[in-house]
Amino acid sequence: MGRLAQTDGLTEIQRDILATVRDFVDKEIIPVATELEHKDEYPTAIVEGMKQLGLFGLTIPEEFGGLGESLLTYALVVEEIARGWMSVSGIVNTHFIVAHMINAHGTQEQKEYFLPRMAAGEIRGAFSMSEPGLGSDVAAISTKGVRDGDEYVLNGQKMWLTNGGTSTLVAVLCKTDEGGSSPYKNMTTFLIEKTPGFGPNPTVPGLTVPGKIEKMGYKGVDTTELVLQDVRIPANRVLGGVPGKGFYQMMDGVEVGRVNVAARGCGVARRAFELGITYAQQRSTFGKKIAEHQAIQFKLAEMATKVEAAHQMMVMAARKKDGGERNDLEAGMAKYLASEYCKEVVEDSFRIHGGYGFSKEYEIERLYREAPMLLIGEGTAEIQKMIVGRRLLEEYRLAD
């Protein structure tokens, strides 16, 4: 390890967890990541290894079979995993968000039913908020849930589900029209259990996962649509047991998800820096290593500064949340900064590699295709700036 992206004040347990994950990434992920990514192959063996390490239960309380670790620990673990292969961090991220939502907002019955199996990795979660025609405009969702006795009937189409095919539990946001005039009180989160796979679901009549969406990068992990046609869900599978709270539950999930995306940006940027500084000391031009050219040293200095700044911002946002404080300002800043810096560091490493960066034989080519996803995941840069701007005006509002 170099001196970049170090975190002060960690406990011995946190350091041990990170050392174990780092070793797993170096031995089990990095050697196979590019091959699996080029094949768009789901990393089954890697996922099984993460189950053995207990990573699917990292933040789930010990009473439900998890490790009970903090958001900071989780974010640092994600940073390490993303350094190996960003797609793998996506597999645990959506699972983590759903587990967080159930632990924070679920009924006691829902916690006892879902969380122990989620901690063991037997149930793997996905969450579904977006739709084909709305993007970041969550209030405009059209997927609808209508009460029918002790059940709800769900109809609509959802988009951009990470783990949509491989997951066995999906938290789905629907419009329920039970909260009055405010659109934000007319949304409900439903917990839908399903069998993994594509096509019509054999255990949930009316639910279909059409297939994987073909993507420029972020391969290996499945990204899908979700179609619901008269899907019947028991009312006791409303998250928290009370309809109309879905928007706030989802926003809480997205808030911790933004810290996760920031952590992914930090991990990818750190790997790009490692690749760049290594290659610069191996490649020679004009009679010396390119690392000895001042132009390359300037580039490396800028890259390292961005890696460090993004990491420290991410750590601050996670610690705010762990401390029970509102962290939407810091999470928005961290996600914005880390994703933008990741793109820039990856591009600079790509430039250092020269023509070889364009070759699929070199790892930087994969990172170059992966980095753009972070610019839009969990809210675009423009959405983050809107959140940050509004919060700043709250904090610095002039007295009347």
Is the Cα dihedral 117, 263, 75, 184 positive or negative? negative
Residue 104 buriedness (CB in 10 A; 0-12 / 13-18 / 19+) = middle
Is there a contact between 369 and 216 (Cβ–Cβ < 8 Å)? yes
Distance CA 148, CA 64 (A): 32
Q: What is the largest CA-CA distance in the chain?
A: 80
Closest CA to 113 of 127, 104, 100, 103: 103
Q: How many CB atoms lie under 10 A from the CB of residue 295? A: 9
Both tokens of 212, joined, read 């994987």
> What are the start-end ranges of the H helices in 162-280?
246-280
Return the sign of the alpha-carbon dihedral for residues 26, 28, 31, 34. negative
Is 115:187 a contact under the CB 8 Å cutoff? no
Which member of 378, 382, 394, 395 is catalytic? 378
The b-or-e profile of 58-84 (16+ CB within 10 A means b, else e) is bbbbeebbbbebbbbbbbbbbbbbbbb
C-alpha to C-alpha distance for 32 and 279, rounded to whole angstroms: 20
C-alpha gyration radius of the chain? 21
274 is catalytic: no
> What are the residue numbers of the active site?
378
